[in-house]
Amino acid sequence: MPNVSNKAIADDIKESFPQVGKWVAKSCRSICTRKHLLKRFPILQWLPSYNLKYLAEDIVAGISVGLTVIPQGIAYAVVANLDPQYGLYSAFMGCFVYCIFGSCKDVTIGPTAIMSLMVQVHVANSGIDFAILSAFLTGCVILVLGVLNLGFLVQFISLPVTAGFTSAAAITIASGQVKSLFGLPGKSNEFLEAWMNVFENLHEIRLWDTVLGVSTIVVLLVLMQMKNMSRESCWASVGKYVALARNAIVVILSTLLAYLLSEAGYSEPFLLTGNVTAGLPPLQKPPFTTTLDGRTYSFSEMIGEMGSSLITLPLIGILESIAIAKAFSKGKPIDATQEMIALGLSNIAGSFVSSMPVTGSFTRSAVNNNSGVRTPFGGVATGILVLLALGLLTKTFYYIPKATLAGVIIAAMFFMVEFHTAVEIWRTKRIDIVPMAATLIACLLLGLEIGILFGVGINVCFILYQTSRPMLIPQQCTIDGQSILVVQPDQRIVFSSAEYLKHHVLKHSTKAAAQIVILDGSHITSIDTTAAKVLVCMTKDLQLQNRTILYWKCNQATRFTLLRMDKALFQDLFTTADSLEQIFKEAGSSKTNNELNK
C-alpha cells in the first residue's frame, strides 16, 4: 500500500468537498465567538456583574425552595418506587447544573410528579438501574434536540392534549397514593389497579394513618390560603412564608409526632418511611448493563425494555421546562434551545449521581419567584441545603409517616387537574374538548406514554381532516345572460382535499346549471401531483358537460404545476383579470380572434 501523507488526504477531501469544508469552518467560527460563548454559558453574563445586595434574597429564596424540595423529593421517590434518598439525589444536581446553563432565574430543576410516575413502571418491573439509565438517555436526547434546534417537536403537543395529559397524571398519582393515605398494603400506582387495590383491602384500613393523612391534606389547604391574607394585615408577610413552607411544616410536625409516640412506647401507630441512606450520593457512571433476577441485561436490551419512554420522557421534560420558563419570563424572550441544553445536561450530570429523570417544577419555580429570587444563584443555596439534609438529617427521615407524604402529594395534585383549562377550551372552541377528553381517558386506562401518543394522534387526525375539507365559497351570478359559478377554496389543495374539491365543484355546477365555472385560486398557494391529476379529470368532466372552466388568480407555482401535468389542456384556461367583467371581455376578444383565424 502506498504511503499517503495526512496532508495529501486532507487536500483530497478539501478538493472533493469544498462546500462541506466551508460550512464546517463557518460553523466553527460562529461557535467560537464571545457572543456564542455568553449565550451558551449564561452564568458568564450574570456572575461578573453580581451585586452582593442580591445574595441575601437569593439565599432566602434558595432555602424556601429547599424546604419544599426535600419533602417533595422524598415523596416523588416513593411515587417512582425508589428509596427516599434518590429523590434528593435528583434534586441537588439539577440545581447546580441549571445555575450554570439555565437562562431563567426562577426555574428550578428536579424530580416532578409526572416524571416520577412515568419512571415507576420501569423501576417496578426492572429495578433502580433502569431509572438512572433513563435519566442519562433522556438527557442525551434533550441535549441533541437542543443542539439541532428541534424543539419545535413539542409544538405537535397541543394545549388540549397537554391539559388532558397533566390532568390524567395528577389523577393517577393521587390514586396511587390513596393506599398510603389509608395505610393499606400494595404497590400499584396505575389508576385502575390502584383503586382495585383500595377496594380489595378496605378491611385493612389503619385508623391513625387515615386520620394523619386526611389531616395533612386539610392543613396544607388551609396553610395555602394564608398567602391570600390582606396586605394591610401585620401578619401578611408571615402568612406568605408559612404558605411557601407549608410542605416542610407538615412533614416536620408529623415526623416530630411519630418520634414522640415511638419514644413513648407506642409501637408504630403510623407506617414510617424507614431507613434512608446517609451521605453524599455515589459518583459513578450510569449503569449501561444490569443484572436482574439472575439475568444480565446488555445496553441494547435495557433500551428495548424502556420502549416508547425514550421518546415520551424527553418530550414531556422539554414541554414542562419550557412552559415554566415562559410562564415566569414576564414577557422576555425565552431561548428554548438554551433551556433544552440546560435540561439535557442536568439529566446527564444527574445520572452520574444516581438521579432519576428531572425537569422544571412549576410548584418550586413559583416558590422561587414568590420568595424574590434575583439570580440563578438561588439554586446553589437549594443544592447546598439538600446536601446538608442528606448528610445530617437522614436519621430524622426514618420517622416521616407515609400517610403524611401521601397527603403532601395528593394536596399538590388538586391543583394539577386542569379544570380551568377545560372551561377555557369549552368556551373558546368546543371541538377541542375531544382531544383533551380522549387524552385524559387514554392516559388513565392505557398509561401515560400510550395516552399522550393517542392524544397527539387524535390531534393529527383533526388537522388531516381540516386539510382534506377546505372551505369552499360558491357564488352564483349572471353576466351577459350567462350563468356563472365562482368557487373559492380557502387553502392550498393537496392530495387529501383534491377529490373533495372536484366533487363539490361538479355538484354545485350541476345544481346551479352554470355554463361557466371559475375556480378562484387566490388562496391556493400550491398543489401537488395528485391534486393536479384530479384537476385534469375535473376539467375534462366539465368540458364533457359542455361547461367552460377558467382558473382565476392562480399563482405562478400552481400554474406551472398544472401546465407540466397537461399543457395542451390548461394553456388557455388561466386568467389574471381584475374582475369577472374583465374576464368576459378577454374571453370575447379571444373568441373573435379565433373566429378570424379560422
Same-domain pairing of 179 and 254: yes
**CATH code at position 545:** 3.30.750.24
Same-domain pairing of 64 and 181: yes
Find where cell 409501637 sits: 267
Find where cell 387495590 sits: 197
Q: Is residue 569 part of a domain?
A: yes
Report the number of distinct structural domains present in the chain: 2
Same-domain pairing of 79 and 173: yes
Q: Is residue 441 part of a domain?
A: no
CA 570 to chain centre: 47
DSSP per-residue codes, 499-561: HHHHHHHHHHHHHTT-SEEEEE-TT---B-HHHHHHHHHHHHHHHHTT-EEEEES--HHHHHH
Tell me, letter by letter, the H, E, C secondary structure of 204-256.
HCCHHHHHHHHHHHHHHHHHHHHHHCCCCCCCHHHHHHHHHCHHHHHHHHHHH
Same-domain pairing of 325 and 402: yes
Boundary of a domain, candidates 418, 451, 482: 418
Q: What residue type is 103 in one-letter code?
A: S
Indicate the pTM of the whole model.
Answer: 0.74
Q: Taking Cα atoms as reference points, which of 127, 132, 129 lies closest to residue 111?
A: 132
Q: Taking Cα atoms as reference points, which of 137, 111, 73, 146 lies closest to residue 351?
A: 137
- CA distances 543 to 115, 476, 515, 537, Å, are 62, 19, 10, 10
**SS3 category, 8:** helix
Same-domain pairing of 120 and 215: yes
Same-domain pairing of 290 and 409: yes
Q: Residue 569 sits in which domain range?
A: 471-590
What count of other Cβ atoms lies within 10 Å of the Cβ of residue 209? Answer: 22
Look at residue 1 in the predicted model and tell me its pLDDT. Answer: 38
Q: Is residue 14 part of a domain?
A: no
Q: Is residue 145 part of a domain?
A: yes
Look at residue 138 in the predicted model and tell me its pLDDT. Answer: 94
Same-domain pairing of 410 and 480: no
Q: Quote the cell numbers at residue 464.
A: 388531516
Same-domain pairing of 265 and 394: yes
Boundary of a domain, candidates 399, 418, 437: 418
Tell me, letter by letter, the H, E, C secondary structure of 175-189.
HHHHHHHCCCCCCCC
Q: Is residue 24 part of a domain?
A: no
Question: How far apart, in whole angstroms, are the C-alpha atoms of residue 213 and residue 223?
Answer: 15
Please list, in sequence order, all residues whose beta carbon lies within 8 angstroms of the beta carbon of residue 355, skipping any fewer than 6 positions away.
86, 89, 90, 93, 94, 132, 135, 281, 347
Same-domain pairing of 392 and 519: no
Same-domain pairing of 410 and 479: no
Q: Is residue 457 part of a domain?
A: no
Same-domain pairing of 377 and 482: no
Boundary of a domain, candidates 403, 418, 433: 418
Residues making up the chain, counted from first to last: 598
- Strand-pairing partners, residue 476, are 485
Same-domain pairing of 408 and 540: no
Please list, in sequence order, all residues whose beta carbon lies within 8 angstroms of the beta carbon of residue 37, skipping any fewer than 6 positions away.
44
pLDDT, tens digit only, all 598 positions of the chain = 344 445 554 554 455 555 555 555 554 555 567 776 777 788 888 888 888 888 888 888 888 788 778 888 888 888 888 888 888 888 888 888 999 998 888 888 989 888 888 888 888 777 889 899 999 999 999 999 888 877 676 677 788 888 888 888 888 888 888 888 998 887 666 788 888 888 888 888 889 899 999 999 999 888 888 766 655 565 666 777 777 778 888 888 998 998 888 888 776 788 887 777 777 788 889 999 888 877 888 888 888 888 888 888 898 888 888 877 876 776 677 788 888 999 999 999 999 999 999 998 877 887 788 777 888 888 898 999 888 888 888 888 888 888 988 888 888 888 888 888 899 999 998 888 999 999 999 989 888 778 888 888 898 888 888 888 888 888 888 877 788 889 989 888 888 888 999 999 999 888 888 888 999 888 888 889 999 999 999 999 999 998 888 998 888 889 999 999 998 888 888 888 878 777 776 655 444 344 334 3
Q: Is residue 307 part of a domain?
A: yes
Q: Is residue 3 part of a domain?
A: no
Tally of CA atoms within 13 A in the half-sphere of 536 that contains its CB: 16
